[in-house]
Structure 1
Amino acid sequence: MLDLLTYDFMQRALIAALLVGIAAPMVGVFLVQRRLSLIGDGMGHVALAGVAIGVVTSTSPVFAALIAAVVLAVLVELIRARGRTSGDVALAVMFYGGIAAGVVIISRASGGSATSLTAYLFGAITTTSVTDLVVFAVLAFVVMATTWLLRPRLFAVANDEEYARATGLPVLALNIVLAVLTAVTVVVAMRVVGLLLISALMIVPNAAAQLVARSFRSAVRWAVAIGVVASIGGVGVSFYAATPSGGTIVILTILIFLALSAGAGLMHRLRAAGHHEAEQHDHEHGPGCGHPAVAHDDHVDYLHDGHRHAPHGAHYDEHDLGDGVPSEETARK
């Protein structure tokens, strides 16, 4: 794969893929928390209208798409916050209005200009120019820096908006920031995976990360790692297989998700095989119950009469004593 670096256009493509692979999952993790997984598609449709304006007016499609996506993102968030209409209705309006405007506007362009629109719809990473790369790098840095600095507040709002509002956080402002970050990410990624596929790179790595991560911080790290591997790997595969880069990146991302999903399911079955429900257990375990507590994976077991009991719903699971697990007498000491 090192021979890819001998081509200038592939060097730019790999750098662009790296930027998108980092930025998209960092924003997407908050969209997944807020159950707004499809908002990237809506932003993509709005950005399409901006690209069409840029093509017809012979101006920069990137900046036109950025302005259109940011303006519509802020408007939709304000409409949703005022309660005039629900979030899904506002998103639907953004979906249909954006793509309809894009189709109508691009119909006024010449044949060559209309054809170039496919590069933004489905991605054309190998056509990324130095100017495009500089613009994408600046925008990606803004997205990553803002997301990193505001991550505790964005997480608080995404996890429980009402509680965040009660604690005094500027919920509306943070929601607008997230909407703008999403719009900027869509514009950054449109030449890499395309406006019609960008949502996959924001959502699927985070869905895969949640299968293996044990905390929000580790989930973000896993999602970024998966996004980078899929983006760079997809560019490499598309070069040798002569396939579209955007579709190849998304397919690789989905394959990673399926592999982790299968692995997580296997681990769950293996762990379940060692968990047996206690036949009869009248004693109620908990802090201060008098029995030593032992950490076991993501929960706590209590040592009792040579057994390890773990509260599980309305019953107790009985776990086998494994190597390295202290006896009840040792744990008390």
Structure 2
Amino acid sequence: MEFLWHSLMDPLRFAFMQRSLLVAVAVGILCAVVGSYLLVQSMALLGDAISHSLLPGLALAYMFGLNLFVGAFVAGVLSALLIQWIRSASPIKADAAMGIVFSAFFALGIVLITLIQRRARIDLNHFLFGNILGVSAADVLTVVAIALLVLALVALFFKELTFYSFDPLGAKAAGLPTAQLGWGLMVLTSLTLVASMKAVGVLLVLAMLITPAATAYLLVPQLQQVMLLGSLFGVSASLIGMYASYYLNIASGPAIVLVASFWFGLAFLGRVLGKVFMHSR
């Protein structure tokens, strides 16, 4: 017991671990809450599309000396606008529009980063896979501010967003502004992905957006319960992955995602075995 306590507390002597802890908690909660809406709408690919679309925004912001979070957010919103425009102005389906946009944006981001690397030393891995152990005090403030803003908006429009997510046609018939709710959810998704990219990177952020919520979805029936339990899974995955990264000297983003995937695997196996047991009685 003493060894476990020492293992938990010893890394917290360092300021970078304290900053990482705050970001881990914020990202774990934020991804689970917003991801729950994408999950019930079967819109997980939207998160993938926007996350890949962040890369050119990051690259351009770096080139012009701007805030990386701002560049990533602008790119995310622009990709969402393009997806919606393609869907509304052509017979192209939503999944195809998402695939077209995110692959184009991601390719543009790789090209821009390649150009940057010709004149400056830049670590592409931190963009792609995250580096939660390297967050600055300014990063912590930005992530926490985004998390509080998104969670406040979700709480304020919880009934409307829930109605729209489960029954968009019914919400429209009831007089709700479904177009604005759809755009709002895209903006919330973009903000969540921007806040999470430092922790797990643009390639793995979809896992944190969907996996904790999906794990909770297997275990509890109500959306509020999915959000709460998913937050616990998200926070625990972030913290355990962060400690694994510290002690094993491995990349933080993949470590966090592997823990989240492990929780999902346990929940899935438990559900399957539970059904087998019930049928065998």
TM-score scaled by length of structure 2 = 0.92
Residues 146-225 of structure 1: matches in 2 within 5 Å? Answer: 146-225=153-232
Q: Does 1:8 find its partner at 2:8?
A: no
Work out whether 1:54 is the aligned partner of 2:61.
yes
Question: Shift in Å at residue 166 of structure 1?
Answer: 0.9
- Give the structure 2 partner of residue 132 of structure 1: 139
Separation in 1, partners of 2:125, 2:27: 19
Q: How many angstroms does 1:85 deviate by? A: 3.3
Aligned partner of residue 192 in structure 1, secondary structure: helix
For the residues of structure 2 that align with 1:265 and 1:107, how far apart are their CA atoms? 46
In 1, are the aligned partners of 2:82 and 2:101 still within 8 Å (CA)?
A: no
Match of 2:275 in 1: 268
Asked if residue 249 in structure 1 is aligned to residue 256 in structure 2, the reply is yes
Once the two structures are TM-superposed, the CA of residue 40 in structure 1 deviates from its matched residue by 1.9
Identical positions, percent:
31
Once the 2 structures are TM-superposed, how far is the Cα of residue 58 of structure 1 from its aligned partner? 2.3
Note if contact 1:5-1:11 (Cα within 8 Å) is conserved in structure 2.
yes
What is the CA distance between 1:93 and its match in structure 2? 2.2
Structure 2 counterpart of 1:104:
111
Q: Which amino acid aligns with 2:157?
A: L
Question: Displacement of 1:18 after TM fit?
Answer: 0.6
Give aligned pairs, total: 274
Counterpart AA for 1:154: L
Amino acid at match of 1:115: I
Conserved? CA contact 1:205–1:253, under 8 Å: yes
What pairs with 1:4-153 in structure 2 (closer than 5 Å)? 4-81=11-88, 85-111=92-118, 113=120, 115-153=122-160
**2:3 corresponds to:** none
The match for 2:4 is none
TM-score (ref. length: structure 1):
0.78
Write the deviation string for residues 148-177 of structure 1: whole angstroms up to 9, x where unpaired.
222222121121211111111111100101
- The one-character-per-residue Cα deviations of 1:32-67 (angstroms, maximum 9, x if unpaired) are 111111222211221101001012222222211111
| Aligned amino acid, residue 205 of structure 1 | P
Contact 2:59 2:112 in 1 (8 A): yes
Distance 1:212 1:112 in 2: 51
Larger radius of gyration between Structure 1 and Structure 2 = 1
Structure 2, unaligned stretches of length 5 or more? 1-7
Separation in 2, partners of 1:115, 1:224: 33
Aligned AA (1:36): M
**Contact 1:48 / 1:195 at 8 angstroms: preserved in 2?**
yes
**RMSD in angstroms over aligned alpha carbons?**
1.7
Higher relative contact order (CA 8 A, sep 6+): 2
- Give the counterpart letter for 1:119 in structure 2: H
Would the aligned equivalents of 1:120 and 1:194 in 2 still touch at CA under 8 Å? yes
